[in-house]
Amino acid sequence: MPRKSLLVLPLANFSSDPENEYFSDGLTEELINVLSRIEGLGIIARTSAFSLKGQELSLETIGEKLKVSHLLEGSVQKAGSRVRVRLKLVAIEDGFTLWAESYDREMADIFDLQDDIAAEVLQALEIYFRQNFSSSHYTDNISAYEAFLKGHYFFKKDYEGTVKALEFFREATRLDRNYAEAYAYTGECLIHHAAYGLIGTSEAHEEARKLAQLALAINPYEAQAYKLLTYISLFYDWDWEAARDSYHKALHFGLSAYNEFISYYHIFLNGDYQEAISIAKKALESDPLHAEAHWQLGLCYVFARNFKDGIRAFNKALELDARFTEALRWKATALGFSGKIKEAQEYMDRALELSAEDPYQNFNSLLLRLQMGEIDKVREALNSRHFIDSADPAQVYAQMGEKEACFSYLEKAWQERSVMMVSLKHYWIWEKVQEDPRFEDFLARMKFPEKGWEDIPRLSAEVAEPDEEVKAVLSELESLMTEEEAYLDPGLNLRNLAEKLDLHPNKLSWLINEHCAMNFNEYINQYRLESFKEKALDPQNRNLTLLALAYDSGFNSKSVFNEFFKRSTGLSPRAWLKSRPNS
């Protein structure tokens, strides 16, 4: 039975007038249409759905008949000018109710009402399916799940955290041999071990490949496993087409489009630093309290040779986690290249102390010591120490301008299939050796693609300057929001807002998407969110519940409010309020 498939049963008409069935049937059709937009979710077509109308069938029978995993059912009750719609999402396998909501509305316009409810259900169920099916999290073993959560907690934290994470992920798979997501994370953890020099590149990536394939054999919808294969294809196999195919599958099954892989892709294969930075910033919007996300943004700035903004991003990461060794290490690197040697040394010493590493074997430390003028000591370290990834000494020799040694290690890095070989095309670290014919030979051997992935949506694409007519409409729209506070109307929808602006709804939708970079619901809810925050922090409102304040701010659904708040701030409303000073 497909894990992500849905049957929308014809809604029952509980109204006193049987003729009102046209409304319940119309709403059913609208729900089928809009829910089909959820990627990766199979929707049973209208004909099959309506063939069950009026039949009293068990969930088991429906599951066997239509091979569906979930059922959306409900009722419509109309009385006078009021209508109430009740909906619930049920798991076919065990009959549990997974989601439920009621909608009470004035029925001024039947089509507006259908559009509004369908849009809200789409938003709520899209969030539900992405959260609960984008990655497996499927295990009946509580101990395995606890081990997985511990691994996820330490995952990507730093050198020490990566070591702990691998132990916990392996424990999770030992406790549950069918834990697909844990296998995928184990594989990605091994790749991070290779980055830290704890394991060879080939050993890490080949083992990670087996784990990804095992995860997909258990759960063919596992986004994390496809993400892992994307990494392997791009950074180890250097198979650009296979990487693109796996990446699309990862997105299809729930991977966020704002992820660190696609940032690295834009940096190393496209040289598009601004797009990478835009993606990293977008990721922070939904995860603002994640130190690693700020570190990723900092790395993007460093690769773009923007050390000033990189240092700011690393500072944010360290505010959240003062012992985050990677943020300390890369802040020191950025400070060194900015000429702030003394301050850089302080941060590097702290990083090395926490990780107990040899300062003359750590790549970042060697780069800093070059900035400090310790060329002879760096050369001695390069000659006397063993480096698991030969690209590390190759980069240091490149910065020293010592071409013979650089290309000798680059050849070894090629044989080892070092992940840093993908950086040859656009990374400034190689600038002192790029004019050498031997460097051109390495570029030819890598067979980099001539064009980027054109089917990947872009964030930093240039938007045409709006003409005077568009500027006037946008100004009027902003006035409706900020001065008239139109967003406070819980019944506000695209159609009646367009009427206020004397525009066709489709044109208004296009304007908001094109010039505000968001859809209609996001645009309206951002104002409601700020209104809620202001009300929640007002001492005069302490006797009101958070939900009451949300409704006062224009939200008309508890689930929509909670999910939009979490997506925008990274916190639940209650956790956000507790984090405010004097709240």
Domains annotated on the chain, with CATH = 5-135 (3.40.50.10610), 468-579 (1.10.10.60)
Per-residue pLDDT band for 392 (boundaries 50, 70, 90) equals very high
Q: What is the mean pLDDT of the chain?
A: 83
Which amino acid is present at 335?
L
Strands 82-91 and 5-8 turn out to be unpaired
Per-residue pLDDT tens digits for 203-242? 999 999 999 999 999 888 788 999 999 999 999 999 999 9
The DSSP secondary structure of 495-552, one letter per residue, reads HHHHHHTT--HHHHHHHHHHHHSS-HHHHHHHHHHHHHHHHHT-GGGTTS-HHHHHHH
User: What does the pLDDT read at residue 160?
Assistant: 77
Mention every residue, 6+ apart, whose C-beta is less than 8 A from residue 582: none
Which amino acid is present at 382?
L
Q: Does 318 score more than 90 pLDDT? A: yes
Q: Please state, for a pLDDT cut of 90, what percent of the chain lies above it.
A: 36
Per-residue pLDDT tens digits for 78-101? 777 778 888 888 888 878 887 788
- Torsion angles phi and psi, residue 222, rounded to 5: -75, 100
Residue 445: other Cβ atoms inside 10 A: 12
Q: Residue 28 and residue 50: Cα distance in Å, rounded?
A: 9
Per-residue pLDDT band for 47 (boundaries 50, 70, 90) equals low
CA 252, 262, 309, 352 torsion-angle sign: positive
Per-residue pLDDT tens digits for 408-454? 999 999 999 999 999 999 999 999 999 999 999 999 999 998 777 76
